[in-house]
Amino acid sequence: MKRRTLVTGVGKGLLAAGISGLLVTSALSADPIKIGVVEHKTGPLAGGEVVTHTPNIELWVSQVNARGGLKVDGEQRMVEIVRYDDKTDPAEHIKAVQRLATQDEVDFMLSPYGTGFNIAAAPIYAKYNYPLIAVSAITDKIPELAKRFPNMFFTLGTTTGFVEGVRDTLTKMRDAGAIGNKIAMVNVADAFGIELADKARPILTEAGFEIVYDKSYPLGTPDISPVVKGAKASKPDAFVAWSYPPDTFAITEQAIIEDFDVKAFYTAVATCFPAYAGKFGSKINGSLGAGGVNPDTPAMQEYRKAHKEVTGKDADYWASATYYASLQILEQAIEGVGKVDRAATIDYIKNNSFDTVLGAISFDENNNSERYWSVGQWRDGVFRAVADVGMGDSVAAVAKEGWN
C-alpha cells in the first residue's frame, strides 16, 4: 500500500512536470557526441602534447558543454572525449586509432601531436572517412598528402614556410644594419631538425648569408656545450638552432653561460612555451623562435584568458591557438552540417570559411590554410610574431641586446 502510494505520487509528479519538460528531457537523454583522440601521455612527445594539445581539448569541451553541447539533428548533444595513450609509439598509435574507429565507434576524431603521427594515422582516418584537421604537422608534402587523403586538412604551415620566415626575419635585420651575414646553424639529428636544416642551407645561402658553422647533434645529447662553444668560436652575426624542446632549453642555457652574444638568436620548438620564459625570465628578451602569435586581437586575448581560467595554465604562443582553432573549425562544421555525417562534414570544411581565434580560416585546393605565424620574438614576456604567411600582422624583429 505504502509502495503504491509512493509510486503513484511520483507518477503524478512526473506527469505534471512531463509535458512542459518534454523538450528538456529529450535533450538530456540525447546520446553524447563521442570524439576520440589518441594522445602521447608518456614518451618523448608527451611534454609537447600536454602543453599544446591537452589543455585546449579541456577548454573546448568545457565551453561546448557549458552551453549545452553541439546542435545536431535539432537537439543539443553534449561532447564526450574518448582518449588513449600511445606512449609516443607509432604502432600503438595506429592500433588505438583503429580501435576508436571500430570498437568505440566515435563520431569524430581529433588530430594527433607530431608530423609523423598525423601522416601515419591519415590512412585510417581516410578509410573510415573521419575529417583530420592536422595542426602539429609541418611538411612540404601537403599537396601530395591532400591528394591521397582528401579528408586531411593542414593549418600550421610548411617546412619551407618556416625556413623562409627565418630568412625574411634575418634579411630584414641585416637590411636594417642590425646584423651582418654570418650565420651559425645547428640542428638536432632527428626528422624535423634534419628537414629544416636541409631546407635552410640553400634558402639562407641564396639570400646572401654565409653559414660559418653547420653541425648536427644527436637527440638527447646530455652536454650541448661543445656545440655552443663551437658556434660561438665561429663568430657569427646570427645563430639558428633547429632544435627540439629539451635541447632548446639546453642551448639557451648554455648560450647564457657562455655569454654567446649575437644580435639574432633563434631556437625552434618550445621557444614559444610559457615554461621557456618561466625558466629564463628577462634574459631571453629579444630571442627568436618558431611560432609566435599576435597577442593583441580581441579573439586571441579572450582565448588566452579562457585558457588560463579553465586549465590554470597559460597557452603557448604558437600551436596552442591553432589547435584550439582546429576544434572551432570542427565544431562549426558539425553544426553547419547539422547532423553526424562525416562525409558531409569533410565537404563542409573544404567549402566554407570559419571564424576562429586566428581570424577567418578557409582551405585552398590542397586542403591547406595559408595563414600562420612562422617566427616569434620574446618582447617583455610576450612572444610576438615577427614573420608570417597570410596573416599580415607581425611586427619587425629587433636586435637582441645581450642576456640580461
Partner 1 sequence: MDILISGLLLGGTYALMAMGLNLQYGVARIMNLANGEMLVLGGLSAFWLFTASAVSPLLTAIIIAPLSFIGNWLIYRYLLLPLVRRSKNQGQLEVDSILATFGMSFALVGVMVSIHGEYFTYSYLADPLSVFGSTVALNRAVAFVAAVAIGGALYFWLNRTYAGTAVRAVSVSAEASGLVGINVDRISAFAFALGGAVTAIGGTLISTFITLDASIGVLFTMKALIIIIMGGVGDIRGAIIAALILGLVETAVATIVDPGLTLASAYVIFLAVLLFRPQGLFGRRTT
Cα–Cα distance, 53 to 220 (Å, whole number): 23
Minimum CB–partner distance for residue 183 and partner 1 (Å) = 17
Comparison of 268 and 349: residue with beta carbon closer to partner 1: 268
Q: Which stretch binds partner 1 (CB under 8 A): 19-27, 169-177, 256-264, 338-346?
A: 256-264
Grid cell of 11 as nine digits: 507518477
Burial class (CB in 10 A: 0-12, 13-18, 19+), 396: exposed
Q: Which stretch binds partner 1 (CB under 8 A): 30-38, 71-79, 225-233, 338-346?
A: 225-233
Comparison of 220 and 381: residue with beta carbon closer to partner 1: 220
Q: What is the number of alpha carbons within 13 Å of residue 317 lying toward its C-beta?
A: 30
Q: Angle at the Cα of 359 (from 70 to 132), degrees rounded to 5?
A: 55
Q: Per rule CB under 8 A, is residue 91 in the interface with partner 1?
A: no
Minimum CB–partner distance for residue 303 and partner 1 (Å) = 20
Q: Which stretch binds partner 1 (CB under 8 A): 218-226, 317-325, 347-355, 366-374?
A: 218-226
Q: Which stretch binds partner 1 (CB under 8 A): 60-68, 245-253, 375-383, 389-397?
A: 245-253
Q: Per rule CB under 8 A, is residue 402 in the interface with partner 1?
A: no
Question: DSSP letter at 251?
Answer: H
End-to-end CA distance of the chain: 83
Cα–Cα distance, 252 to 276 (Å, whole number): 9
Cα–Cα distance, 48 to 149 (Å, whole number): 26
Minimum CB–partner distance for residue 243 and partner 1 (Å) = 11
- In 10 A of CB 49, how many CB atoms? 21
Comparison of 17 and 189: residue with beta carbon closer to partner 1: 189
User: Pick from 131, 246, 286, 376: which binds partner 1 (CB under 8 A)?
Assistant: 246
Which residues ranging from 315 to 344 are in contact with partner 1 (CB under 8 A)? none
Which is it for the CA torsion 18, 19, 24, 27, positive or negative?
A: positive
Q: Which stretch binds partner 1 (CB under 8 A): 58-66, 100-108, 116-124, 271-279?
A: 271-279
Q: Per rule CB under 8 A, is residue 44 in the interface with partner 1?
A: yes
Comparison of 11 and 381: residue with beta carbon closer to partner 1: 381
For partner 1 (CB under 8 A), the number of binding residues is: 44
Minimum CB–partner distance for residue 250 and partner 1 (Å) = 6
Q: Where do the DSSP E strands lie in 304-398?
A: 354-356, 359-361, 372-379, 382-389
Q: Per rule CB under 8 A, is residue 212 in the interface with partner 1?
A: no
Cα–Cα distance, 100 to 120 (Å, whole number): 15
Q: Per rule CB under 8 A, is residue 278 in the interface with partner 1?
A: yes
Q: Where do the DSSP E strands lie in 260-339?
A: 264-267, 288-290
Q: Per rule CB under 8 A, is residue 235 in the interface with partner 1?
A: no
User: Pick from 92, 258, 335, 341: which binds partner 1 (CB under 8 A)?
Assistant: 258
Largest CA distance in the chain: 95
Cα–Cα distance, 131 to 121 (Å, whole number): 12
User: Pick from 221, 234, 352, 362: which binds partner 1 (CB under 8 A)?
Assistant: 221
Comparison of 54 and 285: residue with beta carbon closer to partner 1: 54
Bridge-based pairing of strands 33-39 and 238-242 is unpaired
Comparison of 161 and 246: residue with beta carbon closer to partner 1: 246
387 close to 374: Cβ distance less than 8 angstroms: yes
Binding footprint of partner 1 on the chain (CB under 8 A): 41-44, 46-47, 50-51, 54, 87-88, 186, 189, 215-218, 220-223, 225-227, 229-230, 245-246, 249-250, 253-254, 256-259, 270, 273, 275-276, 278-281
